[in-house]
Structure formats: C-alpha cells, structure tokens
Amino acid sequence: MEKIIVTGGLGFIGSNLIELLVKKKFNVINIDSVTYSSNFYNTQEFSKSRYYKFIKCDLNNKSKLNKVFSKYKPICIFNLAAETHVDRSIDSPENFIKSNILGVFNLLEIFKKYSKKNKKAKLIHISTDEVYGDILKGRSHEDFPYKPSSPYAASKAASDHLVYSYVRTYKIPAIVTNCSNNYGPKQHPEKLIPKLIYNILNNKSLPIYGDGKNSREWIYVKDHCEALLRVFQKGKIGEFYNIGSNKNLNNLEICKFLIKVARERIKIGKNVKIKFVKDRPGHDVRYALDSKKILTKLGWKTKTNFKNGLEKTFLWYLRNDKYYKSISKKDITKRIGKI
C-alpha cells in the first residue's frame, strides 16, 4: 500500500487532508512537532485507523526525519508544517524563521537524497497567497512577483524560493501550491472565523481590525484538500499552482454573515456585537488569486459555496464544544500582534 507523509498533520489543513487520504485508503504518516496549534482532537476520528500513524518529530530533527523516510519510503510528502499566524509573527518572528525556513531547508536536504533512490516520490509544498502581498486590483497569477508584508508571509515566500531552487539546481520532484484563506472544521481560534464563532457562543463582542474592509479570498478547507490530492496525482513537477475560490469577502461581511448563520440556530447573547479594534501593523488590504491554471490544467474547481461552507463550519464548532476546551484559553482570547 502506498505511503504518504503529511507534516503538520495535527493542525487545521493537515488533519483535514489526512482525513481525506485515509478515506481514500492511503497509508498516512503524520509528522508533527506538537506545538500550541497542534491538536490531537483533530485526528480522533481516524487515530485508530490501520491507515494512520503519528510520529512526533520536528522538521529540524534531521536524524529522526531521515529514519522516518528510510523506514516508510513515502511516495509523497505534503509539507504543511509551518507557523501560520500573522499576529504571532509580528510578536515573535524567530519561530517563523526556524520552522518555515530552516525546517523546510532541512526537509529539502533529506528529500534531495531520498528522491534519488525513490524516483516516484514527490514533495508538495503548501504555501499561501500572502506571499504576493497587497493585490488592490485584479488577481495574482503564478508568475506574479512576491511582495510579502509580514514576517509570516516573508518566511513562506523564502520557503517557496528554497523549494524552487532545489527543483532547478538539484532536479528534485517538487511542486508548490499557494492557497487563499481557508475556513472550516478544526481551525485554531486564533484565526478570524473560529474566533468569531467562539465569541458568539460565549456571548462576547466580535473584534474586527480597523474598519473591517480588509478583503480575503475564502476557500472551504475540504475543497483545498481535494485540490492538493489532484496536484499530487496530476500536477507537473516544478510548477506552482494557485488554489482559490474566486470568492472575496471583507472581514465585516464575514462577521455579519456569521451572526446571521448563528441566529438561525441559537439564541445570541446581548454582548454579541461588532467591535472595531486597532488594526495590526502592515495589514494588507486585499488578497485575490487567479486560479485558472489549476482549473484548466488539472480540472479542479471548488465544490462548496461560501454560505454552505460557513453553515457547516458553524455547526461543527457548535457540536464540538470540547474542541475549544482542548485549547488554552489565553490562545483564544489574548490579543497579540500589537507594537
């Protein structure tokens, strides 16, 4: 049976990807260093599956990572291990350099040797639309220049460049994907949508940065995971693929949408009101991807419209109240990223 490694598989996108791969009967090895954003709650529904194995390992642990590759001989590595929260990157950039740049460098060094002996293996490096920076008009295609605004985005941009340099110089079989904002089940509540849901469920005000006009392209996480599987199966080595929904909404619209969804299902407390808070430094106004390439070349497109996706997301958090309890309260409520 073919084996696949998913790094960062205790996180949001990683655990959703593993769920898909296990359903497809791939043998999945989840490598995760177990940080604050890792959560074993995310893997409970398949943790006892014969198709799943968890190994605690940091990407910077070269010796242990090497042993995992040698033992399991994966046909694909989906690299989702990363520090991802922009506000945290403003507070503590060093962690992002260690994980997103040095960790990827270490992974590339190991994969470089491994892929010479295992010719069919592929590395899929998962990145973000934030590497393109502010896109005030139009949409950023794969040949757009990188112009990251935050330490997080800069660290991801650096990792993308590293991967491509190894493709060009060492001929490693790797592909880079750049995705828009994900939402859905199992997302850490330091991020906008699960934080707003938490506050709605706990009768708290809904904090929105600045004037709420910052616009993002939103994709349901399970659609993203289907795209990653398609890239593995049909993607061309050395290529970059944007993955997006072509659906942009600003933060204020998201907030109002969520209030409406919640009102249809629960009684909302009197404190659930929009509260504008001081904007974070360097906050990009708009991200927007041109995803025509993956549509035309690989035949992938989104299945979940935003209304249905948001309803599914809200219901998941409503029915999984233990998820919030599995996370440190300060990681949910504390405001960071202020200078």
Residues catalogued as catalytic: 129-130, 152
- Residue 151 to residue 94: CA distance in whole angstroms: 9
Residues in the chain: 339
- Residue 85 to residue 182: CA distance in whole angstroms: 13
Residue 48 φ then ψ, to 5°? -100, 5
Place of tokens 């968890």: 54
Assigned token pair, 289 = 């991807």
- Residue 317 to residue 319: CA distance in whole angstroms: 5
- Residue 336 to residue 339: CA distance in whole angstroms: 9
| Count of other CB atoms within 10 angstroms of residue 308 | 11
- Residue 192 to residue 202: CA distance in whole angstroms: 15
